[in-house]
Amino acid sequence: MDELMLDGNAVAGMLGEVFAVEMTTATMICGNCGMAGAVGATHVFRGAGVVLRCPHCDNALVKIVEGGTRMWMDFGGMRTLEITL
Amino acid sequence: MTWQVADVVGVVAETPHVKTIMFDVPGWPGHRAGQHVDVRLTADDGYQAERSYSIASAPDGTRVELTVVRIGDGEVSPYLTGQLRPGDQIELRGPVGGYFVWEPPLGGPLLVAGGSGVAPLMAMIRLRAAAGSDVETRLLLSSRGWDDIIYRDELQRLNGNGLTVVHTLTASQPPGWTGYARRVDTDMLAEVGPGPAERPRVYVCGPTPFVEAVAEALVHLGHQPQHIKTERFGPMGS
């Protein structure tokens, strides 16, 4: 694989630090267009932090910033997160 | 999930720009075909860089293999492909991901890869072979030229017993080449099959523009979007 994977699979490890369940198969509903899709199918952009965008309408679903011993997760662009227990 | 130390036990050149690095990871919990790991490198001054790589090997005890393309101005790949030697150690976190995963009881996959996107699909093909499965499986692999085909000899060896490997060479072809010599398109996908009526699970992995084009062509052919799983990466190798 090349260096920068650009979909939700790329943040599975980061999400695995926080969530107790596998997150790439979790379903997100976009707060903008209402489309439901797997976290693994979102588009991921890395900069100072990480942004997961809706593959349908490009809305920023989740923003994550890591800094030292803290992590900020903004789920403001998402309506619902459905996980399998 | 925490970072763990991995021991380099081997390095193999796959093509002039691609190497496979073999690790032994004590305490490795095992992985599923299609999962990946995060690799973390720490410089002497404490600066850290992380990247995700698909696991190319089938589940096999504590052994994990990663296939890495050297990107000239990359932070991580030049080190992985140029510096690592058996006996070195790096940090891994994983296995992670459950979305882009295939296992033999799931029937009849169509695998479509661009370049090093073949890595996670190779884990599936190796698992299929290790399990003695003869489930109908097709791999369409797009490479720039004959010498750029990753796992070429092994794919040739595994071809048959239900596995059909089809190559397309987009930039240059050896003398006498009779195979495909263009980018993957709708006609090629229709010829390689299986068609949407057989409802294959489709796995597409490669650079983002490749994945977008293939997924669009598959939907155009009538494949259900929910049966198409994609994994994309960048930047583009030119």
Domain ranges of chain B: 4-96, 110-233
Is some CB atom of chain B closer than 8 A to the CB atom of A3? Answer: yes
**Per-residue pLDDT tens digits for B167-181:** 999 999 999 999 999
Tell me the shortest Cα–Cα distance from B190 to chain A, in angstroms. 24
From chain A, the residues in CB contact with B230 under 8 A are 7, 41
| Domain B4-96, CATH | 2.40.30.10
What integer best gives the mean pLDDT of chain B?
Answer: 92
The band of B99, judged by pLDDT with boundaries at 50, 70 and 90, is confident
Model confidence over A2-59: pLDDT tens digits? 445 578 888 888 888 888 888 999 999 999 999 999 999 899 888 888 999 998 999 9
Among B168, B178, B99, residue whose Cα is nearest residue B139: B168
- Each residue's pLDDT tens digit, B16-43: 999 999 999 999 999 999 999 999 988 8
Whether the CB of A17 is below 8 Å from some CB of chain B: the reply is yes
pLDDT of B48: 84
DSSP chain B: ---EEEEEEEEEEEETTEEEEEEE-TT-----TT-EEEEEEE-TTS-EEEEEEEB-SPPBTTEEEEEEE--TT-SSHHHHHHT--TT-EEEEEEEE-SSS---TTS---EEEEEGGGHHHHHHHHHHHHHTT----EEEEEEESSGGG-TTHHHHHHH-BTTEEEEEEESS---TT--SB-S---HHHHHHH---GGG---EEEEEEHHHHHHHHHHHHHHT--GGGEEEEEEESPP-
What CATH code is assigned to B110-233? 3.40.50.80
CA angle A24, A29, A33 (to 5 degrees): 130
Q: Is the ipTM of this complex over 0.90?
A: no
Alpha-carbon Rg for chain B in angstroms:
18
pLDDT at A11: 86
pLDDT of the residue at A46: 82
Share of chain B above pLDDT 70, in %: 97
Q: What is the pLDDT of residue B202?
A: 96
B100 closest CB neighbour out of A4, A14, A40: A40
State mean pLDDT over B31-58. Answer: 91
The reported pLDDT for the residue numbered A5 is 57
On chain A, the residues whose CB falls within 8 A of the CB of B49 are none
pTM of the model: 0.89
pLDDT above 80 for B237: no
Q: Does position B234 have pLDDT exceeding 80, yes or no?
A: no
Which pLDDT band holds residue B108 (cuts at 50, 70, 90)? confident
| Domain parsing of chain A, residue ranges | 8-82
Residue-wise pLDDT for B112-159, tens only, equals: 999 999 999 999 999 999 999 999 999 999 999 999 999 999 999 999
**pLDDT given at position B9:** 97
